[in-house]
Structure 1
Amino acid sequence: MPQSEKPEPELPGRFITPIAFGTILQPLNSSMIAVALVGIRARLVRRAGLVLVGITSAAAPFAPNIAALVVCRVLIGIGTAAQYPCGVAMIRRAADQLRSRPGNALAALAICSQVTAALGPSLGGLLVGGFGWAGVFWINVPLALIGGAVIMRWGPADPPARGGGRMKALAQVDPIGMLLFAVSITALMFWLLSLAATPEWWWLGVAAPAAALTVWWGLRARDPFLDMRLLARRGLSFTYGRTIVTAKVESEMGRPWVRFRSS
């Protein structure tokens, strides 16, 4: 590299910290909720997700029946699901504006996601033991309040609205890819669940061709729901593999507590 060219600077910490904080909610809730079962993309979107998480988490312990509790959990999932993709979009936009490399920020998101997923069973067990199953919902209220305050104080500003943005986004939706993926993953899950009793192999017969069609469509569609070409990137494939390993470790950590509570 010529000496006259200087390397691009890393993104400043004031952008990374508020974005990384919001991403801990989704993996934390995904792993904590397993312990409680024994007892029972823009900054505006990100803030709306945090508000949804906070309000729904505060209401969940007072759910009159299991159906209402399931609805609350679904709404919490929607709110937490908004955090990670919005965080990545904000990092990408900030990197473009500041002409910086986003590597350190993306690494911070990955660390927050993996560490909190592994921490979830232990924290969930502590909360359930001290406050009952409602504890895994109540913990979200202060986290959502802190996350909202941090992102409003230090988060990057929203970009100016552009005409036709929503229509352009709708035009990029891939309903065929979404349908194929939903069919393949649903059939696969039903087949795996059937292994506990009598295996229902016909589910696998549905999952396999649906998965093959998902891959085929992801390689050929202009804006695919799952862009299979991204798997050729070594860094991304490594991240997916690390996520799978972490999820396995997290599930194994949760099992002893569940067995103990069940006995």
Structure 2
Amino acid sequence: MRVRRGRCGPGPAYAGAIVNTTGRRGSGSPGTSSPGPRRLGPSVAALCLGTVLNPLNSSMIAVALVDFQRHFALDIATVTWVITSFYLCSAAMQPVMGRFADRFGAKRLFITGMALVVVTCALATFAPSFALVCVARVFMALGTATAYPSAVAMVGALTARAQVSSTRPLGMIQMANTAGAAVGPVLGGVLVGVFGWPALFFVNVPLGLAAAAGVLWLTPADPPRERKPLRTIVIESDVPGIVLFTAMLVCALTAVLGAIPGATWWLAAGALVSMAAFGWRELRCPTPFLDLRMLGRNRPLILVYAAFAVFNGVYYCAFYGLPELLQQSGGYSPAVVGLLMLPLAAVSVVGTPFAARAIDRWGVRTVMLVGSASLVAAAGLLWLLTLSIAGAVVAVLLALTGIPYCIVSIAANQGMYASARPEDSGVAAGILQTSRYLGAISATAVIGVVFGPGATQEHWGVMVPVMVGLAVVTLALAAVWRPRERQA
């Protein structure tokens, strides 16, 4: 039976792609009661609490660099590895954790990831060296990378049993991601100022425990899976494919970030070799980590990934570039810059529920087109900063930029969810997050080139046409995209 899109309502033809990750109704174990609509809110809240940890820890660590420098007597080039290590592991591991969620159970993986975060962060507060701090950040990234793809994979089971649309739970998860990145610097500044850098780790302990407990008690059990010998599980998990995929992404991202001076070209060559080996492996593996043939035939899903990556290139050009412009040309302090950037995140968070309702009413493609068109307009309006960088002007323009961000983000999430096969929800969500990282890294490369001579209003005038051009590409991709309906 094909699910009909439209408004939520009683009966079997409820809105959205409401299936679980196995494509079957009732993913819970026998005897598990259906968590009606009243229990859906707490369940989604627990999922959101877990998904917020990755963006929260990626952003709040930025305010602790000076504290790390003083405590461990480091130079700035060395101390940035506390950010880079988390960034690289998160980008590479999101699809891997998504595949594990699909194959071994999303709920099981979510709770395991939160347990890893809790143990790692409890121990990291006593780290005697900076190297161990970076190791802890890698394990934190590994644990938090389980949350988003697992949460998306569990949305199908939750919404199918509650007979509601999938757009609102996905919107809440997107809001958690946005809010985590927004409040990270503020929360991090308070924690570091009062307690020092160990507090940035310890704060994850109660959050991780609460998320794990909520998912354990409030979400349906994973579908029963066939018991197999360990050797068979290892073979079917395609460990060589996972290793090659990880090597490809880590080499490519490290090269683009310039994290290892003098090794950029070697890393780029390593990325190309790993990519070729990964493609050869996946096309010949009977149980591939990433089914390239299936992905190649799924044109809607590829277009979603491409549009989301380009869109994030526009967003992070503003998110990373404007603070430099405001500090260097406007003379604003970092604290004031943080306040001026808040309207961008605030509008994104507040607008997401309205965008989710619009998807239920008019369809995901219409909302995607509207969001992409508004992105072109918002990017063009940022040219006004070449004339004035007064605080009021900056705040208004950033608030306007938050409108397309919330619209395109939730539309891309729902588009990915609708376009992927139900049994591939986890890995599809992980690749979407990697697309976000690729867009962010591309933005940092553009900023490095344009602002190389200095972050001036004149150079911002060069940045804006690049952003508008990327926004037009996003609109073109949205125009040719057609959502694929899930099967229930």
TM over 0.5: yes
Contact 2:158 2:220 survives alignment (8 Å): no
Equivalent in the alignment of 2:203: 139
Amino acid at match of 1:19: L
Give the Cα separation in 1 of the matches to 2:189 and 2:203: 13
Q: Displacement, 1:8?
A: 0.6
User: Can you list the C-alpha shifts for 1:32-90, whole angstroms capped at 9, x where unaligned?
Assistant: 22332332233343233323322332332222222332333233223212212221222
Equivalent in the alignment of 1:31: 59
Equivalent in the alignment of 1:225: 289
Contact 1:218 1:227 survives alignment (8 Å): yes
Give the Cα separation in 1 of the matches to 2:227 and 2:317: 43
Contact 1:57 1:141 survives alignment (8 Å): yes
Query: How well do the aligned residues superpose, as a CA RMSD in angstroms?
Result: 3.8
1:159-198 to 2 correspondence within 5 Å?
Answer: 159=222, 161-164=224-227, 170-194=234-258
| CA distance 1:50–1:189, change in 2 (3 Å) | closer
1:121-132 to 2 correspondence within 5 Å?
Answer: 121-132=185-196
Q: Unmatched 5+ residue regions in structure 2?
A: 5-10, 19-36, 69-100, 328-333, 335-488
1:74-223 to 2 correspondence within 5 Å?
Answer: 74-98=138-162, 100-153=164-217, 155-159=218-222, 161-164=224-227, 170-194=234-258, 200-211=264-275, 214=278, 223=287
| CA distance 1:197–1:235, change in 2 (3 Å) | closer
Higher gyration radius (CA): 2
1:228-247 to 2 correspondence within 5 Å?
Answer: 229=295, 232-233=300-301, 234-243=303-312
- Count of residue correspondences: 255
Q: Which moved more, 1:204-213 or 1:246-255?
A: 246-255
Percent identity reads: 31
Give the Cα separation in 2 of the matches to 1:122 and 1:135: 14
User: Can you list the C-alpha shifts for 1:123-177, whole angstroms capped at 9, x where unaligned?
Assistant: 3233223322122112212322332343344x21213533326867645423343
| CA distance 1:48–1:201, change in 2 (3 Å) | closer
Contact 1:173 1:225 survives alignment (8 Å): yes
Q: Displacement, 1:112?
A: 1.6
Q: Displacement, 1:191?
A: 3.0
SS in 1 for 2:219: coil
User: Can you list the C-alpha shifts for 1:89-118, whole angstroms capped at 9, x where unaligned?
Assistant: 221233444555423222322232233224
Q: Displacement, 1:222?
A: 5.7
TM-score (norm 2): 0.44
Q: Displacement, 1:21?
A: 2.0
| CA distance 1:187–1:145, change in 2 (3 Å) | closer
Contact 1:187 1:206 survives alignment (8 Å): yes
Q: Displacement, 1:248?
A: 5.6
Q: Displacement, 1:208?
A: 3.4
Equivalent in the alignment of 1:64: 128
| CA distance 1:249–1:60, change in 2 (3 Å) | farther
Equivalent in the alignment of 1:260: none
Give the Cα separation in 1 of the matches to 2:250 and 2:121: 27
Give the Cα separation in 1 of the matches to 2:114 and 2:320: 26
Contact 2:157 2:220 survives alignment (8 Å): no
Contact 2:51 2:173 survives alignment (8 Å): yes
Contact 1:118 1:250 survives alignment (8 Å): no
User: Can you list the C-alpha shifts for 1:179-200, whole angstroms capped at 9, x where unaligned?
Assistant: 3323322332443355886574
